[in-house]
């Protein structure tokens, strides 16, 4: 295990108690639903049992965990999935293949496969096929925005030779994510963690100063921020102004989104104490985390109840 893998693994383990301290009663979790042949191509479905067969269709929130693209697991995001399920949403929490088993762009092919697999759920569960929201934190937010870029930009999809995103995407909730990899690489190296991660994800021999990054075959297609357009769906985005991991990512992405999407909302917080993925600490009654999560609920309510902002 290299330094980057060790750091992200340690973060998952050390942060798990605080990020999963809040649990919700009477939430059903159907574990390890396969959507492909690979070991990690499985997902968990969360829901409140009273919404089953109630004569209504309910929105689906699709969740992608963070972990620096190289670590993480759906099991570390139990609390936040239960949080949305408790509000009456189905939540589909996806694991996905990561380096070294799947590198860019192959790992994103698998994520698209995971997203498309929700169509199988329609046969068994009363999910509203026109109200599907993608969300994730950190690298998971990158994946959500990249899947949206593939959905709403045919030229990008053809350039990276990816299958179509077949489902309707009604909205995005992007939480403390990465959207412009070139900007990320120009910032702090985080003691060498970010360069190591980049080499693993791209499967490319990057120089220490990144001077050869443009030689990477898909260089022009690795930053979803470059592909925001007026076809994108409604979006909520949150970020920490002093994020030590995703520096200079949230606000520039927010500026692009609010000019294009049907409905836009955001939340951000200053201060080193509320840092990367601060929102996951909502169970500790951290005020900014609770405010952020409540605002995400307001966003969900807005885009799933009012047809005027449906993409």
Q: List pLDDT tens digits, range 210-260.
A: 899 999 999 999 999 999 999 999 999 999 999 999 999 999 999 999 999
Average pLDDT of the residues in 264-280? 96
Domains observed in the chain: 3-304 (3.40.50.1820)
What average pLDDT does range 291-300 have in this prediction?
A: 98
User: What is the overall mean pLDDT for the chain?
Assistant: 95
| Residue whose pair of structure tokens reads 């109200």 in the numeric block | 131
Degrees (nearest 5) of the Cα angle 292, 297, 300? 130
pLDDT over 50 at 168, yes or no: yes
d(CA 237, CA 240): 11
Confidence of residue 306 (pLDDT cuts 50, 70, 90): low
The answer, as to whether pTM is greater than 0.85, is yes
Distant-in-sequence, close-in-space partners of 279: CB < 8 Å, separation ≥ 6: 137, 175, 176, 238, 288, 289, 292, 293, 296
- What digits encode the pLDDT tens for the residues 88-117? 999 999 999 999 999 999 999 999 999 999
For the ranges 152-156, 183-187, 270-274, the maximum mean pLDDT occurs at: 152-156
pLDDT tens for residues 115-147?
Answer: 999 999 999 999 999 999 999 999 999 999 999
The Cα 199–Cα 127 span in angstroms is: 39
pLDDT score recorded for residue 244: 93
Q: Tens digit of pLDDT for each residue in 22-57?
A: 999 999 999 999 999 999 999 999 999 999 989 999
- Under the banding of pLDDT at 50, 70 and 90, the label for residue 79 is very high
Q: Does pLDDT of 311 surpass 60?
A: no
Tell me the two tokens of residue 119: 């169509």
Tokens representing 142 are 């990158």
pLDDT surpasses 60 at 310: no
Residue 53 pLDDT? 87
């Amino acid at each position: 295990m290299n330094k980057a893998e060790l750091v992200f693994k340690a973060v998952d383990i050390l942060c798990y108690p605080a990020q999963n301290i809040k649990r919700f009663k009477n939430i059903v979790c159907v574990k390890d639903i396969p959507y492909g042949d690979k070991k990690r191509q499985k997902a968990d479905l969360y829901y409140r049992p009273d919404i089953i067969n109630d004569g209504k269709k309910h929105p689906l929130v699709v969740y992608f965990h963070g972990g620096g693209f190289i670590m993480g697991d759906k099991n570390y995001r139990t609390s936040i999935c239960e949080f949305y399920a408790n509000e009456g949403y189905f939540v589909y929490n996806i694991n996905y293949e990561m380096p070294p088993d799947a590198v860019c762009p192959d790992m994103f092919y698998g994520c698209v496969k995971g997203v498309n697999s929700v169509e199988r759920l329609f046969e068994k569960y009363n999910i509203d096929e026109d109200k599907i929201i993608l969300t994730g934190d950190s690298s998971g937010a990158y994946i959500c925005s990249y899947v949206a870029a593939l959905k709403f930009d045919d030229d990008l999809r053809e350039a990276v030779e990816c299958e179509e995103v077949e489902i309707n995407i009604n909205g995005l909730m992007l939480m403390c994510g990465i959207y412009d990899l070139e900007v990320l690489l120009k910032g702090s190296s985080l003691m060498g963690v970010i360069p190591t991660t980049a080499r693993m994800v791209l499967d490319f021999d990057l120089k220490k100063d990144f001077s050869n990054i443009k030689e990477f075959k898909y260089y022009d297609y690795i930053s979803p921020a470059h592909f925001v357009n007026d076809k994108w769906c409604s979006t909520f985005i949150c970020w920490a102004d002093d994020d030590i991991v995703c520096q200079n990512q949230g606000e520039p992405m927010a500026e692009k989104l609010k000019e294009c999407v049907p409905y836009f909302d955001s939340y951000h917080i200053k201060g080193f104490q509320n840092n990367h993925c601060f929102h996951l600490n909502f169970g500790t009654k951290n005020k900014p985390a609770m405010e952020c999560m409540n605002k995400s609920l307001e966003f969900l309510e807005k885009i799933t109840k009012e047809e005027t902002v449906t993409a």
